[in-house]
Amino acid sequence: MEKIESRDSIYHQELYTILRFGALINSSLHIEDVLNYAMKWAEEFIQAEASTIYELDEENQELFIRLARGEKKDQIQNIRLSVGEGIAGRVVLTGQPMVVQDVSKEPCFSDKFDRISGYQTRSMICVPLIIRDRPMGVIAVLNKRSKEGFSQADLLLLTSMAQQIAVAMENAKLYHRLEEKFELTTQELKTAQEKLIRSERLTAIGHLIQGIAHELRNPLTTIGGFANRIKSEFTNNERIHQYIDIILEETDRLERLVQQVKKFSKIQSAILKPSKIQTVIENVLKRFHPLALEQDVNIITHTEPALPEINMDIPQMTMAISNIMENALEAMPSGGTIEIKTNRDEDNILLEVKDTGIGISSDQMDSVYDPFFTSKTSGAGLGLTMVHQIIMNHEGEIHIASEVLKGTTVTIRLPILRK
């Protein structure tokens, strides 16, 4: 009668422990605290001296210590066990628990930890941590305090705990991965938002300058026309001729600008047809070859031969690549190298144009796509504005990286046509 009562009470105690343990492990505490607390319970309940949780590093097929408890825990933190090595290594390999009452008689036992820490392991109970039928680590509890050695009840208790610890560790891992992914997504979102703001800003400025350019056309024609008439009426007045020539030069410059803006307004949309980017590149290079030769610029091309077709507006893409080439050549007045690379990256074609020119300073980098932004005396500052618009028309992306006095790399990503 008495015996049954005591077995009953042990049973209740165990059940109570497991239930409380379940609640603890599912609590929102930090995983390290949960594991530490859980192992402290296990040690007390099983009456053991120390305990360790190992996690499996699948890539290297090694066990590393996730948590160690006991007086020598600090000395053993960085020791690793190969799968199959020692009792823990064997348990993770077979997926079967081991109860060892005297380690000196167990051939599997490795004294690696004892040698380094000076601790003396006498007995051990070791249980695998299993998730979806695959071991993810082991729990080892060391040195039973009483003389009887580990019991079947100790094994059962530790096995129940192991199941819950495995779930908690897996959740912590997933949570960690989720956190990393979330950080990445936030970054991607920020980049996408910046691109969108830039595109919208450029579209708004684009509309504005088209309106202004349109209004400028008539007065410019009038000014130019009257300036020419004045010039022809004052045939003998050299000073007036000088002034008129300045007016005519300036009206010419403004008219060229208006023409550029007109070009820009024509590329607001594109007519896309399946085409090969290599052909466009080859044609652009043919056109720039004599100028490059004259400027002592060496052009190197690395093009992947069998790139798939993309949906492309050939005249627009020709204009975009020409504008990039023009900038590269203008950045190298006393020679250099232009490297042109094309390759495939998953569902995209990447085109890279790299020069060894003067580069762009970081404070100018924010403005390079803005209309009329130029650092050149003769530039309209519309080249990259057009390139940006053309790439947007092709649902692509453009990125410019540059280092002052070293060079500039323009990278364009264009989506491959889906069949």
Ligand X SMILES: Nc1ncnc2c1ncn2[C@@H]1O[C@H](COP(=O)(O)OP(=O)(O)OP(=O)(O)O)[C@@H](O)[C@H]1O
Name the minimum Å distance from CB 329 to ligand X.
Answer: 9
Q: Could you tell me if residue 200 is left (phi over 0), alpha (psi between -120 and 50 degrees) or otherwise beta?
A: alpha
Verify binding: residue 117, ligand X, rule CB under 6 A: no
Residue number of the CB closest to ligand X reads 383
Of the pair 31, 360, the CB lying nearest Mg ion is at 360
Of the pair 64, 373, the CB lying nearest ligand X is at 373
To which residue do tokens 């080892």 refer? 140
Q: Which of 209, 382, 390, 414 binds ligand X (CB under 6 A)?
A: 382
Alpha helices in 111-151, H assignment, sequence order: 112-117
Verify binding: residue 336, ligand X, rule CB under 6 A: no
69 φ/ψ angles, rounded to the nearest 5 degrees: -125, 150
Q: Which stretch binds ligand X (CB under 6 A): 39-47, 241-249, 306-314, 378-386?
A: 378-386
Among 343, 361, 346, CA closest to 404: 361
For residue 83, CA distances in Å to 34, 66, 160, 374 come to 26, 15, 23, 64
Residues 178-197 that bind ligand X (CB under 6 A): none
- Distance, in Å, from the CA atom of 210 to the CA atom of 264, rounded to the nearest integer, reads 8
Q: Which of 159, 250, 373, 397 binds ligand X (CB under 6 A)?
A: 373
Residues 43-102 that bind Mg ion (CB under 5 A): none
The partner in contact with residue 135, picked from ligand X, Mg ion, none with C-beta cut-offs of 5 to 8 angstroms by kind, is: none
Strand order in the sheet with 348-355: 297-303, 336-345, 348-355, 407-415, 397-403
Name the minimum Å distance from CB 253 to ligand X.
Answer: 12
Q: Which of 201, 207, 289, 376 binds ligand X (CB under 6 A)?
A: 376
Question: How are beta strands 297-303 and 336-345 bridged, if at all?
Answer: parallel
Verify binding: residue 177, ligand X, rule CB under 6 A: no
- Distance, in Å, from the CA atom of 83 to the CA atom of 68, rounded to the nearest integer, reads 19
Q: Which of 383, 398, 410, 413 binds Mg ion (CB under 5 A)?
A: 383
Question: How are beta strands 407-415 and 397-403 bridged, if at all?
Answer: antiparallel
Q: Which of 360, 391, 412, 414 binds ligand X (CB under 6 A)?
A: 360
Verify binding: residue 262, ligand X, rule CB under 6 A: no
The partner in contact with residue 360, picked from ligand X, Mg ion, none with C-beta cut-offs of 5 to 8 angstroms by kind, is: ligand X
3-state DSSP assignment of residue 401: strand
Q: What is the DSSP letter of 138?
A: E
Verify binding: residue 408, ligand X, rule CB under 6 A: yes
Verify binding: residue 257, ligand X, rule CB under 6 A: no
- Distance, in Å, from the CA atom of 178 to the CA atom of 28, rounded to the nearest integer, reads 16
Gyration radius of the chain over CA positions: 38
3-state DSSP assignment of residue 273: strand
The partner in contact with residue 380, picked from Mg ion, ligand X, none with C-beta cut-offs of 5 to 8 angstroms by kind, is: ligand X
Name the minimum Å distance from CB 195 to Mg ion.
Answer: 21
The partner in contact with residue 357, picked from ligand X, Mg ion, none with C-beta cut-offs of 5 to 8 angstroms by kind, is: ligand X
Verify binding: residue 328, ligand X, rule CB under 6 A: yes
20 φ/ψ angles, rounded to the nearest 5 degrees: -65, -35
Of the pair 327, 402, the CB lying nearest Mg ion is at 327
Query: How many Cα atoms are found within 13 Å in the side-chain-facing hemisphere of 86?
Result: 21
Question: How many other C-beta atoms can be found within 10 angstroms of the C-beta atom of residue 231?
Answer: 17
Name the minimum Å distance from CB 213 to ligand X.
Answer: 14
Give the binding site for ligand X (CB under 6 A): 323, 327-328, 331, 355, 357-360, 368, 373-376, 379-385, 408
Give the binding site for Mg ion (CB under 5 A): 327, 383
